[in-house]
Amino acid sequence: MAWDFETDPEYQKVLDWADEFVREEVEPLDLAFPHLQFTPLEGKRRDAIDPLKEEVRRRGLWATHLGPELGGQGYGQLKLALLNEILGRSQWAPIVFGCQAPDTGNAEIIAHYGTDEQKQKYLMPLLGGELFSCYSMTEPHAGADPTLFTTSAVRDGDDWVINGHKFFSSNASTASFLIVMVVTNPDVSAYQGMSMFLVPTDTPGVNIIRNVGLYGEPEGQGSHALIHYDNVRVPAEALLGGEGQAFVIAQTRLGGGRIHHAMRTIGMSQRALDMMCERALSRETQGSRLSDKQFVQGYIADSYAQLLQFRLMVLYTAWEIDKYNDYKKVRKDIAAVKVAMPTVLHDIAWRAMQVHGALGVTNEMPFLGMVTGAAVMGLADGPTEVHKTTVAKQVLRDYRPTDDTWPTEWEPRKREAARAKYADYLENEVGNL
């Protein structure tokens, strides 16, 4: 009997330590140094944060997303899920633990597909937490459909020359390098004709046109860049993996990235539920506490059930990834998690906000940030609709059509068959009456 929902006691101790550490030491960074997670550390900020990273390393919890063969601690996805749901409470926690998106996914593909030189140049400093990276794939006119991408790289002697526009390239302005997905062979299908390049951000021709902010962020101060690649010349060694391998590489990257977001979303949703419950027990209005009112009880019950379902779904999918060690085999469930994620966070954060009344919608509480976060989850790494399509296609693979006019489960025919099967007993039944 292999199913088991208990955490190994030794690892539980690790999680308990992480939980207290994040609440006491890391969550305050969100308020002391807001929106600066992806800005290189310097001065007093470095003095505050380096010792925290050091403590995480000392405990063996640094960069747990990668296996030992790829330069990490090798915790596997299930243990990572249990840790990540703690880190999801805080914006800074993934940085302090060396497992922040998009760097985790970027590190993963360099570890899988990079040459030794590329690993030395990009992966090692990335794992060291000293630099940031950017994944530059989406194009302004093409969005979620990579088959429409036009950014291209053309060979020129030993070099490649990249031209085109990329949109929503997160952290480009502070990243040391970009992983750019481009067309290298327009004569074959996009699935065979696209490649990935590792491009230092200071390469001539990499022009950040503007940094787009999310709603609520001051104009011009966002972290999602529109980049024009104008005759960006890179050497042949900048190619990541083989020519034409971009789609395969993208799937490796996005599979891991999506499930890691989901793990952290559990933590953020739990935080919203915690706040909802505290407020419900604390606030009294119109003759009783909020927690005594059935509508509010409904919010709490629905949120608890939704979060429990989601958590089990994420942990199960993480367990599957560990078991198969092949994202393709778990594609359906990763997509299903991606579909569920924005709704769970949105619903719980929205209810928690409502229970807090007017205070809930102010900039003194985090709920609207969470609701925006939920909307982001429904787009980043692909829109919900696209993932629903993936789930449906994968689910349908296990089914076959029937040639019959009536469905297989059509009851008149099944009833007739059942009566024939148990005819002797049915006759006895009648006889006994």
Ligand X SMILES: Cc1cc2nc3c(=O)[nH]c(=O)nc-3n(C[C@H](O)[C@H](O)[C@H](O)COP(=O)(O)OP(=O)(O)OC[C@H]3O[C@@H](n4cnc5c(N)ncnc54)[C@H](O)[C@@H]3O)c2cc1C
Q: What tokens appear for 156 in the block? A: 């020129």
Q: What tokens appear for 301 in the block? A: 């019950």
Closer residue to ligand X (CB): 85 or 103: 103
Footprint of ligand X on 91-120 (CB under 6 A): 102
The one segment of 45-53, 129-137, 149-157, 361-369 that binds ligand X by CB under 6 A: 129-137
369 binds ligand X (CB under 6 A): no
Closer residue to ligand X (CB): 90 or 136: 136
The one segment of 41-49, 135-143, 242-250, 358-366 that binds ligand X by CB under 6 A: 135-143
Closer residue to ligand X (CB): 56 or 101: 101
Cα angle 335, 5, 80 (rounded to 5 degrees) comes to 55
Identify whether the C-beta of residue 153 lies closer than 8 Å to the C-beta of residue 272.
Answer: no
Angle between the N-to-C axes of helices 294-324 and 246-282, in degrees from 0 to 180, rounded to the nearest 10: 150
Q: What tokens appear for 91 in the block? A: 């914006």
Closer residue to ligand X (CB): 249 or 315: 249
Q: Which residue among 37, 77, 91, 138 contacts ligand X (CB under 6 A)?
A: 138
Closer residue to ligand X (CB): 184 or 291: 184
Closer residue to ligand X (CB): 78 or 380: 380
β-bridge mates for residue 208, sequence order:
227
Reduce the DSSP state of residue 200 to 3 states and report it: strand
Looking at 123-245, list the stretches that DSSP marks H as alpha helix, in order from N- to C-terminal side: 124-127, 190-193
For residues 374 to 413, the per-residue mask of contacts with ligand X, x marking binding by CB under 6 A and - elsewhere, is: --x--xxxxx-xx--x------------------------
Tell me the residue type at 415.
R
Closer residue to ligand X (CB): 360 or 382: 382
Q: What's the closest the beta carbon of residue 413 comes to ligand X, in angstroms?
A: 37
Give the CA radius of gyration of the chain: 25
Q: What's the closest the beta carbon of residue 393 comes to ligand X, in angstroms?
A: 11
Q: What is the distance between the alpha carbons of residues 106 and 93, in angstroms, rounded to a whole number? A: 18
Q: What is the distance between the alpha carbons of residues 29 and 11, in angstroms, rounded to a whole number? A: 26
For residues 254 to 273, the per-residue mask of contacts with ligand X, x marking binding by CB under 6 A and - elsewhere, is: --------------------
Q: What's the closest the beta carbon of residue 375 comes to ligand X, in angstroms?
A: 8
Q: Which residue among 67, 125, 143, 200 contacts ligand X (CB under 6 A)?
A: 143
Structural element, H or E, at residue 336: helix 331-355
Task: Sort strands 224-235 and 206-212 into parallel, antiparallel or unpaired.
Answer: antiparallel
Question: CA 243 → CA 14, 181, 194, 195, 328, distances in Å?
Answer: 43, 11, 7, 5, 21
Closer residue to ligand X (CB): 215 or 295: 215
Q: Which residue among 137, 276, 300, 371 contacts ligand X (CB under 6 A)?
A: 137
Identify whether the C-beta of residue 340 lies closer than 8 Å to the C-beta of residue 386.
Answer: no
Q: What is the distance between the alpha carbons of residues 390 and 293, in angstroms, rounded to a whole number? A: 41
Footprint of ligand X on 152-191 (CB under 6 A): 168-170
Question: CA 48 → CA 12, 32, 45, 53, 408, distances in Å?
Answer: 27, 10, 5, 10, 66
For residues 206 to 245, the per-residue mask of contacts with ligand X, x marking binding by CB under 6 A and - elsewhere, is: ------------------x---------------------
The residues that touch ligand X, with contacts defined as CB under 6 A, are 102, 135-138, 143-144, 168-170, 224, 376, 379-383, 385-386, 389
